[in-house]
Every structure is written in structure tokens, then in C-alpha cells.
Structure 1
Amino acid sequence: MTKSTQTAPTERTPALIPSLDQVVPSAERQLAVRHWLLSALDETGRDRARMEWDSHGCAFFRLGMRFAAVRFHARLVHGVAGTETLQGSNAYLADALGGGPVICDPYAWHYYALVLPSAVDHLNYPETRGKWGIEPLGRNTFLGVPRVERLGPQDDHASYWAVPMPSAGELCEPDLVAQLLDEAVRRALAEPGPST
């Protein structure tokens, strides 16, 4: 009988599975994500998006082809995350959505979780949730998508990636989005409203 000589990773013995940053540098991932996003557009749309990204940092994309989105109000996230800061809320979203991509529009106080187009057909939100800005956005809806390098709040209050797309085409799991919103609404409903 032989004994295994393999040891657990230590400071001197690196892990056998490298992190994504060790395999594909950040700049290369961002370039792949940029190309994937642009592939959702025709040639004219790609040229327009590049120009808008270069001049404004954000470009409008028609949803429903490669990706769709679920919009929800930032106050829902602040309540469930237990923080009023964008940085704290962004970190909470990254954890709750398994690193799936989320865009923040700090001017409108909305977040947009990017999902497969088919997911918006299955995410039903009753009328009562409308006051929290929850809305699945699919075909024939436009969304401002920031340049992939816009990874935090900017002085111009324009949209940015609260949680960047981890790799080309990697979107939020609809079940995780639904769980996040269900918990956020449950907590919001449990909070006492302002006294009149």
C-alpha cells in the first residue's frame, strides 16, 4: 500500500486551482466583456456604442437579444444590506448575486441586475412591489450600459458597474435575483413607515 505525498496548499505550496486573475488578467477580461456586449448590436450599433462610451462613458443597448435586466430601487438594497453607502451596497450585491453583473445608476437610485433574456418572462412581481421600482426589462427596452472600465461612482453621477461582469456572457442567476428581491421586499415591509 502506498501513501499519498500530496500536501495541502500552504504559503510555500500554491493552490492547484489558480484564481481567475492569475489565468486571465483583468484588462483581457474587460476586453472580452466589451466585445461580448458589442456583439449584441449590429455594425451601426457597435460604432454608435463605441462613440458613446468614448464620449459619455455610457451607451444605450436594446435589451432582449443577449441579455436583459431586472431593475430595482437602491433603497431596497440599502435596507437588506444594512448600509446607506454605495460601496457597502455594491459589496452586498456581489455576494448575494454570486458575482453576477449589476449596473448602478446613482442619479436615478436604481440597480440593474443583468440576466438572460428568457429570465424576465419568469420573474413576476406583483403590483405591490412597484413602489420599490422592481421591473423586469426585456425586449424593446433600452438600458444605459457603462464602459467596462467604469467600476465605481464617478463625479458625473453616471452609471457604473456596481458588480462588473466576471467574464464575457456571465450573467446573474435569476433564482439569486429573485431571492435577493424577495428578502429585500420582506424587510422593507417589516419596517415601520413614517408616522403621520
Structure 2
Amino acid sequence: MADILVLYYSQNGAVREMAQLVARGVEMVDGATARLRTVPKVSAVCEATGPDIPASGAPYAELKDMEDCAGLALGSPTRFGNMAAPLKYFLDGTTSLWLKGALVGKPAAVFTSTGSMHGGQETTLLSMMLPLLHHGMLIVGLPYSEPELASTSTGGTPYGASHVAGAAGDQPISEAEKKLCIALGKRLAETALKLS
């Protein structure tokens, strides 16, 4: 079984929902299974501590989740055209995996949610690709053979799945965005199986 790690940070729930859709796409592929994981918030207060286990949703990721996966889908909301700090903080702690080449040759895909159509979707997706490329991962995007990619008036890029949440974060994930999340998960799982 190819274990695909769907690792994300979500503040208002849109990226969490996208992660679940990506996982659904992974699970559509025979021989693949999805493992949903998240990362905790980062605090500027030195004494702040949070629970070791989140109150709800996916468990927190551990380095072993990354090391053991056959592929990785990485998701984050956009923060000024970049991935959110909690996800970056987690990735900054993966040096031990880099030193032993634990992720070299594994496929990876990225997804994001932004407040506006031009809120930095592509730059956020590219920012998430950078540490994955340093780890030697193989980036999987969305081809234009996915019909929604060419017709969507909401989110969707060849770099990865995306969602336009609106300034208040209250826009639901569109049907085209849902299909592209599922397609991304499916493509990642198929690629992982071909590479294994």
C-alpha cells in the first residue's frame, strides 16, 4: 500500500476541507491510502504551550510521517503570497530528513486557499515547492487535461489546487475547485505507485 501523507495547516477550515478532498482523490486509487496530518499554530509568546494532540481534526504530523510516506500533498493558506508560518516552521525542522535523503525521489503536490483571486495563489504554491525541491522530491501539478482547470472562474492552477475563500473566508469551495483537489490527490497517488 502506498501511504500518501496529506499534510496541511488550516486556520479557518478551507485548507482542511481541501485536504480531505485531496485525500479522497488518493483513496480512489487502488493500492493507495491517505494519511491526514496537520501542524500546530506558532505563538509569538515564548511561554505559550498548546496541547500535544489537537482538540479536533487530524493529528499533528511527526517527522516519521514524512519519512514513511510514498508521496506528500502539502497545503497552506496564503500569507502575503507565501505559506503560513506554522507550516514553514514544521518544514524548517526537517533537516534530519534532508541529511539522510529520506524524501529523495518521492512525488509531492501542493494546494492553497486565498482571500482573493489575485491573493498570491501561485506564489504560495511555489513557496511550498521550494523546500520540497531541496529535499529532492518530484513535483506533481495539474495538467490542462483536467477540464476544470481551463474553465474555472474560481481557484485552480497548473501548480496545484487552489481555492478563493473571499476576504471574510466565507466562500464555499466551488465544484471546480473540489474536482481539482480530488484530481490532484488521484494524480499524486498514481505517480507514487508508478515510482515505487
**Structure with bigger gyration radius:** 1
TM-score (normalised: structure 2):
0.24
TM-score (normalised: structure 1):
0.24
